[in-house]
Amino acid sequence: MSGSTFGHLFCVTNFGESHGPAIGCVIDGCPPGLPLAESDIQPDLDRRRPGTSRHVTQRNEADRVEILSGVYEGVTTGTPIALLIRNTDQRSRDYANLLDTFRPGHADYSYWRKYGLRDPRGGGRASARLTAPMVAAGAVAKKWLHERHGTRFVGWMSQIGDITIPFVDEAQIAQNPFFAPDAAIVPQLEAYMDALRKSGDSCGARITVTAQRVPTGLGEPLFDKLDADIAYAMMGINAVKGVEIGSGFGVVTQKGSEHGDELSPEGFRSNHAGGVLGGISTGQDLVVSIAVKPTSSIRLPRASIDRQLQPTTVETHGRHDPCVGIRATPIAEAMLALVVMDHALRQRAQCGDVSVAVPPIAGAAPGSPRG
């Protein structure tokens, strides 16, 4: 419980730093008998990896994953699955000056206060590079959930800076580097990003992530509510500053007569709840939205201090994402999958004998946030 292990039954322990020899994770608790190979994991890693368009960091990492354990003759054995990703493009350069100053908006100052020292190379442990092993682990969770329950995870960018991106078509998400569900808006996004990069600044984004065909009954009533664990998972992603379930902050101005999703024999008539009532999944789509802050490493000069608390100025050059939100989509999907997976196992542990006489009612209604 020292902060690098995620989950209670499907446990993922993450290790590594941005510029160390390797990053990776150990997945403990995976059900046995799941067919699994590197090729099940690599596609999601490829969606997240850097260097794939001019709008993300130009660091060139293949992010090739190696399964070190837990798989025998092509199926999981139920014992820990260790995944290793070697770092290959750690540029050797002098980080000594970085060690002495604190970049505004960065973890430099807080790490130093916490540990008394820090690994400055590429952000060390604070780097978003550490999300790669989570994407890998999420791919395993996704596969089991899909085979066992038919669950699907779909995420997309719903806003970048001031540009709201409409949900036009899921099929378009994979066809542009922004994970935008609207092909028509892509040129506008590209122009926006090009201007931003030129200015030396960065911007924020909003990502929406959903899960379909989620088993009912997932989540514990009091603390490990499904939505609480989702909030924990999402807020733990680098740069995330806000999390919403269903209508999210929209509920502040809703009336009860508007918010509470009515039920019919055909299913819920709306999905303001985002798939969770009382912390427990209803079988509707999970709908989650996150706010990703603008990248802290920018070329524009910022006021700061050094380790002697003396004033200084910081400009950050090098390879950085001008909008870290762009690559956040597969990460958010993976984290949502890990939460659902963990609760699917927890649910059958305690309630494996529960049976209810009637089938679950249908999932998301046309009026759902995803609709």
Q: Which of residues 5-64 bind its own copies (CB under 8 A)?
A: 5-6, 8-11, 13-17, 20-24, 26, 28-33
Q: Which residue is associated with the tokens 């067919």?
A: 35
* Dist. CA 33–CA 219, nearest whole Å: 25
- The answer to whether 210 contacts its own copies (rule: CB under 8 A) is no
DSSP 8-state symbol, 15: E
Among residues 52, 53, 77, 212, the one that binds its own copies under rule CB under 8 A: 77
Please name the helix (run of DSSP H) or strand (run of DSSP E) that holds residue 66, with its range, or none: strand 65-67
Whether 308 and 131 have beta carbons less than 8 Å apart is answered as: no
* Dist. CA 271–CA 366, nearest whole Å: 9
The nearer residue to its own copies, 210 or 295, going by C-beta atoms, is 295
Q: Which of residues 259-288 bind its own copies (CB under 8 A)?
A: 259-265, 269, 272-274, 276-283
Q: How far is the CB of 184 from its own copies (least distance, A)?
A: 21
- The answer to whether 152 contacts its own copies (rule: CB under 8 A) is no
Q: Which residue is associated with the tokens 């046995």?
A: 32
Q: Are strands 71-72 and 240-245 parallel, antiparallel or unpaired?
A: unpaired
Q: How far is the CB of 320 from its own copies (least distance, A)?
A: 10
- The answer to whether 189 contacts its own copies (rule: CB under 8 A) is no
- The answer to whether 96 contacts its own copies (rule: CB under 8 A) is no
Burial 255-293 (b: 16+ CB within 10 A, else e): eeeeeebeeeeebbebbbbbbbbebbbbbbbbbbbbbbb
Classified as helix, coil or strand, 40 is: helix
Interface with its own copies by CB under 8 A: which range of 52-60, 167-175, 184-192, 236-244?
Answer: 236-244
Among residues 145, 211, 234, 286, the one that binds its own copies under rule CB under 8 A: 234
Among residues 39, 92, 171, 249, the one that binds its own copies under rule CB under 8 A: 249
Q: How far is CA 38 from the centre of its chain?
A: 20
Site string for its own copies, 103-142 (x = CB under 8 A): xxxxxxxxxxxxxxxxx-x--xxx---x------------
Q: Which of residues 337-356 bind its own copies (CB under 8 A)?
A: 345-356
In this structure, the chain runs to a length of 371
Among residues 149, 307, 315, 371, the one that binds its own copies under rule CB under 8 A: 307
Whether 268 and 255 have beta carbons less than 8 Å apart is answered as: no
The nearer residue to its own copies, 88 or 175, going by C-beta atoms, is 88
Classified as helix, coil or strand, 83 is: strand
Whether 45 and 37 have beta carbons less than 8 Å apart is answered as: no
Q: How far is the CB of 12 from its own copies (least distance, A)?
A: 9
The nearer residue to its own copies, 52 or 77, going by C-beta atoms, is 77
The nearer residue to its own copies, 32 or 371, going by C-beta atoms, is 32
Backbone angles phi, psi at 252, to 5 degrees: -60, -35
Interface with its own copies by CB under 8 A: which range of 50-58, 172-180, 181-189, 304-312?
Answer: 304-312
